[in-house]
Amino acid sequence: MKAARGSGAVAAVLYALLHLPRDVPLHVVSEKDTLTAPLFKRRQGWEDIGWEGVQGALYVQALINQLRQRCAPTSFGSGTGAHSTPLAQARCQLEDAEHSLDRPTIVAPEKNMTFELSGAKLSSLSQAQAYRCIRAEKTRVARPATERQMLRILANTSAAGQKCATAEDVWVGIRHKDIL
């Protein structure tokens, strides 16, 4: 699976939030907009659609959940401008220290369900998005009569010498405008 842009920064801040007291002020400095874009520019849109199709959503959701639990000032900034030289030096030192470790630190995406905003916003949700979200959450229960009928249809198509159809082809074909 392809890593989301800025996923290392998200994991680093999540790790810091999990290990720092919640009442300690925190100033997070990252390069460019690797944290500010997902947290402040895109977060509302992602929450509106229920996080469907968002790369790295599990960790970004956990980070937002941890930020909502904090009772101290938390600010975000970019590593450009006056802070860029000290930030670059500190980053190089941290990278050297990280490479000297035997194994990487694993950050678990912990959430407190009290602060979890789940689901999509109804005012901005389309029927297709709602259906995809429901299908992603629920496990499909096979109905015996449907399965028998599907096996019968697939057996008839293969016996008639037609190309082997799949169950998905049958379901799409049923909705064809010429059949209705």
Number of domains in the chain: 2
Please give the structure tokens belonging to residue 77: 């900034």
* Nearest in space to 6 (alpha carbons), one of 56, 46, 47: 56
In the structure, what pLDDT confidence band is assigned to residue 145 with cuts at 50, 70 and 90?
Answer: very high
pLDDT at 3: 47
Q: 151 and 122, same structural domain?
A: no
**Domain span holding position 124:** 7-128
The reply to whether 119 and 149 lie within a common domain is no
Same domain for 54 and 17: yes
Cα(20)–Cα(106) distance, integer angstroms: 16
Confidence of residue 2 (pLDDT cuts 50, 70, 90): very low
Closest alpha carbon to 80 in 34, 15, 14 = 34
Cα–Cα distances in angstroms (integers) from residue 49 to residues 8, 34, 53, 94, 109, in the given order? 24, 21, 9, 37, 21
- Same domain for 109 and 150? no
Global confidence as pTM: 0.56
Q: Based on the domain organization, do 94 and 61 belong to the same domain? A: yes
Residues 15, 83 within the same domain: yes
pLDDT digits (tens, 9 = 90+) for 6-52: 667 888 888 888 888 888 888 887 777 778 888 888 888 888 877 88
pLDDT band at 90 (very low <50, low <70, confident <90, very high): low
Q: What does the chain look like in DSSP terms, one character per residue?
A: -PPPTTHHHHHHHHHHHHHS-TTS-EEEEESTTTTHIIIIISHHHHHHTTTTT-TTHHHHHHHHHHHHH--S-EEEEES-GGGHHHHHHHHHHHHHHHHHSSSPPP------GGG---S--GGG--HHHHHHHHHHHSPPPPPHHHHHHHHHHHHHHHHTTPPPP-HHHHHHHHT-TTT-
| pLDDT tens by residue, 109-119 | 777 776 676 66
